[in-house]
Structure 1
Amino acid sequence: MDEMDAAPSLGEKLAVLLARDMTDGEKAIIGTNSDIQLAACNLARNMQAPRLWWISGPGGMVNPTRDHLLSTADYENLESAEAWMDLPNMIDFIDWQIHFFDFAILSALQVDRFGNINTVVVGDQHKPRVRGPGTVGISALCGLAKRFYVFVTRHDRSAFVPRVDFLCGAGHMEGGNSREQMGLPPGGPKLVLSPLGVFDFEPRSKAMRVRSVHPGVTLEQIHEATAFDLIVDGTPPVTDMPTVEELRILRQVVDRRGDLLRKFQ
């Protein structure tokens, strides 16, 4: 089967759904292990947001332009980048500038009902079941960006938990206005994306809510795979899957090697 005829992979779906929420002229930051994030930003730049700019958290390169996905830490990004920021400038932006970045995109080992995330350890810290990549700059980005997005490549009761085992990225904390009461700027997670659906946060309680359900998935499946009670308003719509044009740009312009198609089934 020709790749253009293949059904979208999980990675492609997540990239498209993220890209749709980006706006022209916004500033974004993404990390090292970032195939989906990179594809989402570059897809948006080729569609509705040509003046969106993203920066590599580990490398400081701004908008490297390529037709395939490359680690954002790779030095080869320098030759096609629009600009480059050295480490001291990056630290100034990431750790001190409130709302300099419009958004960050983060993957997680765990996310809880108020959008707090864990990328460090699952289980007892002294005898963990899983070790993640660590905090890196996640705490600052979750605290200081205007908003952030979370995606997970699995949806089960060990990933969607009542409370994260290690809080390294502040979401809406304990819900309500607790984030602001704890001294953090307004912001927090806007969307959580998973293989089963798209989730946002109820404006008053700030608890996770079902925004849409992916085709072929039921609410019952989502509830069974989630270790806390999700808010459901009425009957959530079915998620709009990638269009022919979105897939064409993704596969022929952004990700010509098909990394998302191969790596995230």
Structure 2
Amino acid sequence: MPASTAGFALGEMLAVLLARDMADGEKAIVGTNSDIQVAACNFARQRHAPHLWWVSGPGGMTNPTEGVIRPAADAENIAVAQAVMDLPQMIDFIDWQVHFFDFAILGALQTDRFGNINTVCVGDHARPRLRGPGTVGISALCGLSRRFYIMMTRHDRGAFVPKVDFICGAGHLQGGSSRTDFGLPEGGPRLAVTPLGVFDFAPDSKAMRIRSLHEGVTLEEVRDNTGFDLLVPDTIQRTTPPDAEELFVLRHAVDTTGVLARKFPWPRAERKAAR
């Protein structure tokens, strides 16, 4: 585990890292199992992007804000939302309007070196080793948003694979220009944030590369836990961890009941490695 993490949880760090890349006035969408995603959007709105507008994909609630983190689909968000849209409106936005959303934030069972994501199952579809929630609206969000973020609470060879078993959300497909060659609009994954680091995608090859590693994480550790060869820059940066002011805003205005710390502590294996 990174040496600096004694003062904050994994969920808190991922929320802050995602929020830092959001801009004022952007439109965003998050999915059902989305505590970290909700926290990231509300944190950005509190700190530097007050006009960011986000909506619950499954529920249609826009900007539910109360200082309590709930999954985006929770009906209790209705009472604290600025507006609620019905399903036909949501379908118009999600399925038909190219680049209506500036970004989506998505978790996955698997992701690969070109940022394709799988949320259906691991292994043979008829007899899977692990079954996920399915595609839901992920295909449209990855295909039509200006960009998307991959948010992973685990980083190991089972989650970071050479090729996903099912492409539920199109990343950069086969790399290079293949995304637009297949007729998709420009876009794709911008960042992947994990317990080990922050990763982006090279402009030409579109292959995943190291952007920064969290404090205490080594290049060998990342390579050992990734099922494909990551691109490595000449100089590896260290992730800037949440500072005292960011944690204060997060805990006192966004996540006042400590959901992120309870649900998303640092993985046990990393805690052992730090000792």
Listed one character per residue, the Cα deviations across residues 197-236 of structure 1 (whole Å, up to 9, x for unaligned) are 1000000000000000000000010011111110011121
Alignment of 1:76-155 (within 5 A): 76-155=76-155
User: What amino acid sits opposite 2:133 in the alignment?
Assistant: P
Distance 1:222 1:76 in 2: 39
Alignment of 1:16-95 (within 5 A): 16-95=16-95
**Aligned: 1:168 with 2:168:** yes
SS at match of 1:249: helix
Distance 1:157 1:72 in 2: 29
How far residue 6 of structure 1 moved from its aligned partner, in angstroms, is 6.1
Distance 2:249 2:9 in 1: 15
Q: Could you tell me the TM-score, scaled by structure 2's length?
A: 0.93
SS at match of 1:127: coil
Distance 2:12 2:103 in 1: 20
How far residue 123 of structure 1 moved from its aligned partner, in angstroms, is 1.0
SS at match of 2:16: helix
State the identity %: 67
User: What amino acid sits opposite 2:101 in the alignment?
Assistant: F
Distance 2:65 2:156 in 1: 36
Listed one character per residue, the Cα deviations across residues 128-166 of structure 1 (whole Å, up to 9, x for unaligned) are 111111110000000000000001111111110010011
What is the aligned length?
Answer: 261
User: What amino acid sits opposite 1:10 in the alignment?
Assistant: L
RMSD (CA atoms): 1.0
Distance 1:220 1:16 in 2: 25
Listed one character per residue, the Cα deviations across residues 233-261 of structure 1 (whole Å, up to 9, x for unaligned) are 11211100001011001111100110101
Distance 1:73 1:224 in 2: 36
Listed one character per residue, the Cα deviations across residues 95-151 of structure 1 (whole Å, up to 9, x for unaligned) are 000000000000011000000000110111111111111110000000000000001
How far residue 84 of structure 1 moved from its aligned partner, in angstroms, is 1.4
Distance 1:140 1:151 in 2: 18
SS at match of 1:143: helix
Listed one character per residue, the Cα deviations across residues 59-108 of structure 1 (whole Å, up to 9, x for unaligned) are 11110111111122222222221111110010000000000000000001
Listed one character per residue, the Cα deviations across residues 21-66 of structure 1 (whole Å, up to 9, x for unaligned) are 0000000000111100000000000011000010010111110111
Runs of 5+ unmatched residues, structure 2 = 266-275
Structure 1 equivalent of residue 219 of structure 2: 219
